[in-house]
Structure 1
Amino acid sequence: MQFYDRAADVVRAYYDRRIDTPATLDTDRYFPEASRFTGAYPAIRREALAVLDTLHRVPRFHDLMPQQADISAGDGRDWRMFILKAYGVAVEENLQRCPTLDALLAETPDVVSCVVSFLAPRKHIPAHRGPFRGILRFHLMLSMPLADDGLPACELNIDGVPYRLADGDTLLWDDTYPHEVWNRSDEVRIALLLDIWRKDMPADAALVSAALMAATRAWIRKRGMSYGG
């Protein structure tokens, strides 16, 4: 854990010096292919709801990455990740269950990772930062519980700014900024999370990013994670 934290700090410090963009970004500029996914929202949502029927088989985030147990397991409530693609490594058995996403990923190579995220009722993900600014995070909300006032019951707070995404809403953001999540409802929140290759990097940062991606793919293949589902 200490080695992972130190390595993440070194990577973040490098990218902080080389890339200076805000916490949230313009989707049309940085991910124009987003319309492919938003246009297929009803079909993607149906596929995610089908996975919900076997949610107990989907691994929790800390099952996949024990280094993240403080973030994922601290309150004893589940944060489950149905992974279709991880840093360029396809998870074929999961792609077969989601043919719409399978087809979209095949025609959108800049999406390096694709996950359907299931956040348990009353789950809290404490504030943290991702280590790798070579990718951007795209949210497509698939099933958002509502509070008593009819507003979205889950909050994503990014760098001190709260976001409440309704069904079908999207957000493109940089997860190296501090962020925190609350599900203040008694229902599961379901979101599509895409990691997008950042296109505006300086040449040296692009080379470092490519090397980190290759190393991560090699680690994933060597470890042979069980993705469940």
Structure 2
Amino acid sequence: MSRISEGLEISAHGGIREVAKLQGPEVFFPGLTARPWWSGADFPWLAELEAAAPTIRQELLAFGLDTSPPLSHWGEHTAKGDWRALYLCTMGRPYAKNLQAFPLTLKILSALPGASNCDMTFFSSVQRGTHIAAHTGFTNAHLRCHLSLVATEGSRIRVADETRGWREGRAFVFDDTFEHEVWNEGDQRRTVLLFDFWHPELTPPEIEALTFMMSVWRRMYARRFWADQLSGQPS
């Protein structure tokens, strides 16, 4: 557990920038390979996920693309436009409200390592004319996958110094603790299935410890959120 202890020590004492180089997480764990973009060859299960894209897209279309409200808690990231999320999991916990509508999607995700219980899993829709400002993720203990379900020309994502577009039915993996931002200059929404999964170099005991810590962070976040709501201040 030395890597977990060292990471918490670094994070608690404000030493992340000294060791994380180009990354900007709030919680950092040393000794994990860090690169903005990861190769699909690193994750053999990506092929299975891409093969299931039509099934996932069909469930989403049956539920409705525009049923989710604009994001409010990440409002500071939406520099312009409209970013919406339909959650299946948040902070490692199932989002019960939407689960019944996506049984096949959840079954597909359950077969992938950590995809259904690591941190966040949601359908992310960026409406046309939207710019999500540059930002960084919470921790380098996970990586992030995008499976493109609705793609449009003129929609792109920059991670560090490389920009890529989405191809419908295709997936890619990146490290969201590197600065990233999104533009949709196309003529329709861009929708992906977004999910986090544990960094492949973490050991099972480390994942067990981080899963417990996620439950602690979730309770702390909930307390802060409701304290802000009751005080009338934005969270």
TM-score range (shorter-chain normalised) is 0.7 to 0.9
Contact kept, 8 Å, 2:27 with 2:140, in 1: the verdict is: no
Structure 1 unaligned residues grouped into runs of 5+? 1-5, 147-152, 225-229
CA separation in 2, counterparts of 1:94 and 1:202? 31
Counterpart in the other structure of 1:132: 139
CA separation in 2, counterparts of 1:93 and 1:203? 30
Counterpart in the other structure of 2:37: 24
Residue 160 of structure 1: how far off its partner (Å) = 1.4
Going from structure 1 to structure 2, the CA distance change for 1:123 and 1:209 (only over 3 Å counts) comes to same
Amino acid at match of 1:21: A
Structure 2 unaligned residues grouped into runs of 5+? 1-10, 17-24, 227-235
CA separation in 1, counterparts of 2:101 and 2:27? 38
Q: Which has the higher contact order (CA 8 A, sep 6+)?
A: 1
Going from structure 1 to structure 2, the CA distance change for 1:142 and 1:14 (only over 3 Å counts) comes to closer
Which of 81, 105, 109 is residue 85 of structure 2 equivalent to? 81
Structure 2 residue 70 is the aligned partner of structure 1 residue 60 = yes
TM-score w.r.t. length of structure 2: 0.74
**Aligned-residue CA RMSD (Å):** 2.9
CA separation in 2, counterparts of 1:90 and 1:13? 23
CA separation in 2, counterparts of 1:21 and 1:165? 22
Amino acid at match of 2:85: M
TM-score w.r.t. length of structure 1: 0.76
Residue 109 of structure 1: how far off its partner (Å) = 5.1
Q: Which has the higher helix share?
A: 1
CA separation in 2, counterparts of 1:13 and 1:192? 24
Counterpart in the other structure of 2:185: 184
CA separation in 2, counterparts of 1:33 and 1:218? 32
Contact kept, 8 Å, 1:137 with 1:196, in 2: the verdict is: yes
Residue 194 of structure 1: how far off its partner (Å) = 1.2
Mean CA deviation greater in 202-211 or 20-29? 202-211
Counterpart in the other structure of 2:60: 48
Amino acid at match of 2:100: Q
- Secondary structure of 1:61 counterpart: coil
CA separation in 1, counterparts of 2:194 and 2:165? 15
CA separation in 1, counterparts of 2:220 and 2:52? 32
Going from structure 1 to structure 2, the CA distance change for 1:188 and 1:13 (only over 3 Å counts) comes to closer
Which of 64, 73, 77 is residue 71 of structure 1 equivalent to? 77
Contact kept, 8 Å, 2:29 with 2:141, in 1: the verdict is: no
Mean CA deviation greater in 177-186 or 89-98? 89-98
Going from structure 1 to structure 2, the CA distance change for 1:200 and 1:188 (only over 3 Å counts) comes to same
Deviation track 1:162-192 (CA, whole Å, cap 9, x = no partner) reads 1011111211110000111000023111111
